Structure 1
Amino acid sequence: MAHAYDNHNVFARILRGEIPCYKVYEDEIALAFLDIMPRIDGHTLVIPKFPARTLLDADPDKLGELIKRVQKVAIGVKNSLGAEGLTLLQSNESAGGQVIFHLHFHIMPRWEGIELKPPASAMEGPDVLEKFQAKIAEALR
């Protein structure tokens, strides 16, 4: 059974400006911002501006445009932070690990020997988030 998109989810509220975020990139298709409970330094989220609950119910044409933005942001994150690699995570439905039911991609820069923290383990401080926001946003200008 398909679930309806909830226009009151936290990402929809961020898109409407009701909740602030640490924005690193935005255009007519997507918004990218830092995860406030990062699993690693520079953990960035990319969300579509169109309503889609999961990858499975997203319009394929819009999804094609979104993935171009995911790639652009991933390159910016990797280059700006000198990462050795990236983990791209995209979860669907509760059983798949999805917690917020608005399609989103996690971009996590990676370095040898540095493990990811568990999901939602700790809120990061504004000073740290602002530092990474400035570096990544500059690379995406």
Structure 2
Amino acid sequence: MPGEVNRDDSCLFCAIVAGTIPSTRVDEDERTVSFMDINPATDGHLLVVPRAHAVDLTDITPEDLAACALTAQRLARRQLDVLGADGVNLLNCTGEAAWQSVFHFHLHVVPRYAGDPERDGLSLPWLPSPGDPDRIAATGRRLQGGADG
């Protein structure tokens, strides 16, 4: 691919992008590389990463974020069409408290298979339930017009 990109020599995903660590690649373009997750939640679970190192969602450039989102969309369609998935979850984890374990921005593109525990044993990590309306509104007001860095 043309041009050099920023890399972190200690980053697992930078090594995968560079080809110094093996992976099962499914897609790549000028800005992104996509490969199968070696710890899959479901059959067909893959990752989309930018070629340029970015620690997380707060660090990635808008251009690379857009490229990753478009790649994830294209691959989600492929999971539905090729794998016969019934749905797809898209997940990003930013920070250790949010389950980020590799500190190179990545999107998990996770195909879902309704009623097929052999292919899909993933379940929600929380049970959605109504929140306190006043607390929701107060938190929303705090976020309105906040600093965007």
**TM (normalized to structure 1)?**
0.75
The gaps in structure 2 that reach 5 residues or longer are: 1-6, 124-149
- Deviation, structure 1 residue 66: 2.2
Residue 116 (str. 1) matches residue 139 (str. 2): no
| Separation in structure 2 between the aligned mates of residue 100 and residue 10 of structure 1, nearest angstrom | 7
3-state SS of 2:111 partner = strand
- Look up the match of 1:95: 97
Structure of greater Rg: 2
Q: Which moved more, 1:53-62 or 1:13-22?
A: 53-62
- Look up the match of 2:58: 56
| Separation in structure 2 between the aligned mates of residue 24 and residue 67 of structure 1, nearest angstrom | 16
Cα RMSD over matched residues?
1.6
- Deviation, structure 1 residue 116: 1.5
- Matched positions, count: 113
List structure 1 segments (4+ residues) > 3 angstroms apart after TM superposition. Answer: none
**TM (normalized to structure 2)?**
0.71
- Look up the match of 1:130: none
3-state SS of 2:82 partner = helix
The gaps in structure 1 that reach 5 residues or longer are: 118-141
Match runs of 1:1-141 below 5 Å: 6-113=8-115, 114=117, 115-116=121-122
* Larger relative helix fraction: 1
Q: Structure with the greater relative contact order (CA < 8 A, sep ≥ 6): 1 or 2?
A: 1
